[in-house]
Amino acid sequence: MTAADDSRATGSWRGLPRRLRATVASTWRRSLQVRTVFITIGLSTLAILVIGLYISFSVASNLFQDQRSRVLEVSNNATTAAQLILDSSDAADRGSLQLLMKATLDTVTSIAGTNDVAIFRAPDQPASNNAPPDRLSPDLAGVISPALRAQVQEHSENQYWQSVALGSSSGGSDPGIVVGSGLQVPAGAGRYELYIGYNLAEAQRTLAFMQVTGTVGAIALIALLSAITLVVVRGVIEPIRTTASTSRRLAAGDLGVRIPERGEDELASLAASFNGMADSLQARIRELAELSVMQQRFVSDVSHELRTPLTTIRLAGDVLYGQREDFAGPTARTVELLHTQTERFERLLGDLLEISRYDAGSVKLATEPTNLVHLAGDVIEEMHGLARERGSELRLEAPGGHLDAEVDPRRVRRIVTNLLGNAIEHGEGRPIVIAVDSNASAIALSVRDYGLGMTTEAAERVFDRFWRADPSRVRTIGGTGLGLAISLEDAVAHGGHLDVWSHPGKGSVFRLTLPRSVGAGLEPADAAVVSPLPLEPGDPEAAGPPPTASVGAILPDDDREVHDA
């Protein structure tokens, strides 16, 4: 293929509509069956083409050589017979010489089996009145080349041949051979050149028939090979497909699926080992599930069991705490310590019970139309004192979210309280921005602090139970280490998600995204598309938000215009 052909071929591939090209490319990539069949067709076509061309050329060449040997033999016989007739003649005058020549040529045509005969008197002969005239049959006109004639004139005792195109009966031309030799005519007529033409159309037809038969056979063979490949490949691919779809179902949690085992071949052994693997996986998962249920039940039972003694301790502690001013210094401090630790214990127990409810799948949402901006305002108001203590300004930005969303307000409040508590805890006394916004399908709330922030590894583990970025850090607000784990469960129970962006020294953003109504769940993968608020802040470098006129909590303005989606 030339460079121009190449670029034309590439051009025509480019010219194909894009969708079609993509479909062909993806079918080629994804289907082993299509690839195998096409590669088999391609390679067998190439092999058949090479073998076919070789056979065709060697048959054509053998056929031609056979024909040529036959023609040379026949022509030699005819020339010898002609010379014998001439030699044995006693013709002496012009008339009898002409008759002799005619008889000789008749013998030649009958022995040679062809009417294409020419006879010329050699040009270097002395003039003779007796010499019979030249004869040329019409089919040989213009066919005998000067080169052939020169060879015959030079060595008249030899035979020479030449491939020629002879006129055919249909008006076209047929392949042929012209054989030239010399004849000695008596009575002073001198040397003559004899040319006999043989038409090889018959051999050509035999060859063409053979080629057509060969081509049809080759096409049938390729079709047959393709069909066989398709059947064989399907036989192998089908079990592979079954294995792939079974593993997909297994991965999706359908632990009972198995591959049918048939026969004793390699595919049957693949199915057997796959099924063996699935069996042990199922047994292991069942074991783990049972263990997990046991653990959950244990945590739940322990938490429940601890509740009663803790309530008693709490009541007793409250009594002591109420009278702490009556106690001496160290005793009063001990009573205070008992009080805070009992409170912490209660919170921890509450969180443990909550998480075990999630684990047991027994959580039911109590949804009602809730205004997230108002809810955020309430939480800000509640945490206002704490924030002020830590020197953090709380700021609410609510471009949207003023229309009610169908959520469980208790759980959403718990999430917001936890996020805000964490932001105050880790916010280093810098401002904290709470943003609320919504779109047609979702509502989102984000809490941005400009405090310590976290590394990427820490941010990835932040929703793990009891995980703390720095366990040695003194907790002032009294978190249990389960806050974000419960918040995430709360968000997921709504069909929403909770995401985090954080950078050491640049603070963190926690973003809660909930569907406007439970049931219209959000896929986590769609977070960036669905959430009305960006996760990554536009000001990651800033040590705080741009200043505003007011100081302290900026609470939502109830009179503001509603411009939700």
Instruction: Give the nearest distance from C-beta 483 to ligand ADP in angstroms.
Output: 3
Instruction: Give the nearest distance from C-beta 382 to ligand ADP in angstroms.
Output: 17
Q: How many CB atoms lie within 10 A of CB 432?
A: 28
179 versus 424: smaller Cβ distance to ligand ADP: 424
Measured between alpha carbons, how far is 354 from 414 in angstroms, rounded to an integer?
A: 12
Shortest-Cβ-distance residue relative to ligand ADP: 479
Instruction: Give the nearest distance from C-beta 378 to ligand ADP in angstroms.
Output: 20
Give yes or no for residue 481 binding ligand ADP (CB under 6 A): yes
Q: Is-contact 515 490, C-beta < 8 A?
A: no
Q: Using alpha carbons, select from 435, 405, 412, 437 the residue that is nearest to residue 517.
A: 405
Q: Is-contact 210 59, C-beta < 8 A?
A: yes
* DSSP structure string for 17-82: -HHHHHHHHHHHHH-HHHHHHHHHHHHHHHHHHHHHHHHHHHHHHHHHHHHHHHHHHHHHHHHHHH
398 versus 485: smaller Cβ distance to ligand ADP: 485
Helix, strand, coil shares of the chain as percentages rounded to 5? 55, 15, 30
The partner residues of 519 in beta bridges, in order of sequence, read: none
53 versus 542: smaller Cβ distance to ligand ADP: 542
Among 259, 452, 512, 553, binds ligand ADP (CB under 6 A): 452
Give yes or no for residue 537 binding ligand ADP (CB under 6 A): no
185 versus 444: smaller Cβ distance to ligand ADP: 444
402 versus 426: smaller Cβ distance to ligand ADP: 426
Site string for ligand ADP, 400-439 (x = CB under 6 A): ------------------x---xx--x-------------
Interaction residues for ligand ADP, span 355-394 (CB under 6 A): none
Instruction: Give the nearest distance from C-beta 451 to ligand ADP in angstroms.
Output: 6
Residues in the chain: 565
Give yes or no for residue 480 binding ligand ADP (CB under 6 A): yes
Among 479, 496, 537, 556, binds ligand ADP (CB under 6 A): 479
Interaction residues for ligand ADP, span 78-107 (CB under 6 A): none
Q: Is-contact 188 153, C-beta < 8 A?
A: no
Give yes or no for residue 34 binding ligand ADP (CB under 6 A): no
Q: Using alpha carbons, select from 402, 401, 397 the residue that is nearest to residue 437.
A: 401
205-218 b/e with 16+ CB inside 10 Å = b? eebeeeeeebeeeb
Give yes or no for residue 534 binding ligand ADP (CB under 6 A): no
| Phi, psi for 448 (deg, rounded to 5) | -110, 125
Instruction: Give the nearest distance from C-beta 479 to ligand ADP in angstroms.
Output: 2
459 versus 554: smaller Cβ distance to ligand ADP: 459
Instruction: Give the nearest distance from C-beta 286 to ligand ADP in angstroms.
Output: 31
Q: Which range, of 94-102, 185-193, 220-228, 478-486, touches ligand ADP by CB under 6 A? A: 478-486
Measured between alpha carbons, how far is 289 from 498 in angstroms, rounded to an integer?
A: 26
389 versus 523: smaller Cβ distance to ligand ADP: 389
231 versus 474: smaller Cβ distance to ligand ADP: 474
Residues contacting ligand ADP: total by CB under 6 A: 20
Rg (CA), the chain: 52
Cα torsion angle, 364, 369, 372, 378, sign:
negative
119 versus 462: smaller Cβ distance to ligand ADP: 462
Instruction: Give the nearest distance from C-beta 350 to ligand ADP in angstroms.
Output: 13
Give yes or no for residue 67 binding ligand ADP (CB under 6 A): no
Among 197, 400, 409, 483, binds ligand ADP (CB under 6 A): 483
Instruction: Give the nearest distance from C-beta 342 to ligand ADP in angstroms.
Output: 17
Instruction: Give the nearest distance from C-beta 466 to ligand ADP in angstroms.
Output: 8
Give yes or no for residue 484 binding ligand ADP (CB under 6 A): yes
- Residue 498's H or E segment, with its range, is strand 497-503
358 versus 467: smaller Cβ distance to ligand ADP: 467
Measured between alpha carbons, how far is 119 from 158 in angstroms, rounded to an integer?
A: 16
Six-digit token string for 360:
């047991």
Give the Å distances, CA to CA, from 123 to 92, 161, 166, 215, 425. Answer: 21, 20, 25, 51, 126
Q: Which range, of 15-23, 260-268, 406-414, 483-491, touches ligand ADP by CB under 6 A? A: 483-491
Measured between alpha carbons, how far is 347 from 341 in angstroms, rounded to an integer?
A: 10
Q: Using alpha carbons, select from 141, 95, 101, 91 the residue that is nearest to residue 121.
A: 101
Measured between alpha carbons, how far is 321 from 145 in angstroms, rounded to an integer?
A: 135
Give yes or no for residue 444 binding ligand ADP (CB under 6 A): no
Instruction: Give the nearest distance from C-beta 428 to ligand ADP in angstroms.
Output: 9
- Residue 192's H or E segment, with its range, is strand 190-199
The interaxial angle of helices 329-359 and 266-322, nearest 10 deg, is: 150
121 versus 426: smaller Cβ distance to ligand ADP: 426
Binding site for ligand ADP (CB under 6 A): 418, 422-423, 426, 449, 451-452, 454, 462, 467-470, 479-481, 483-485, 508
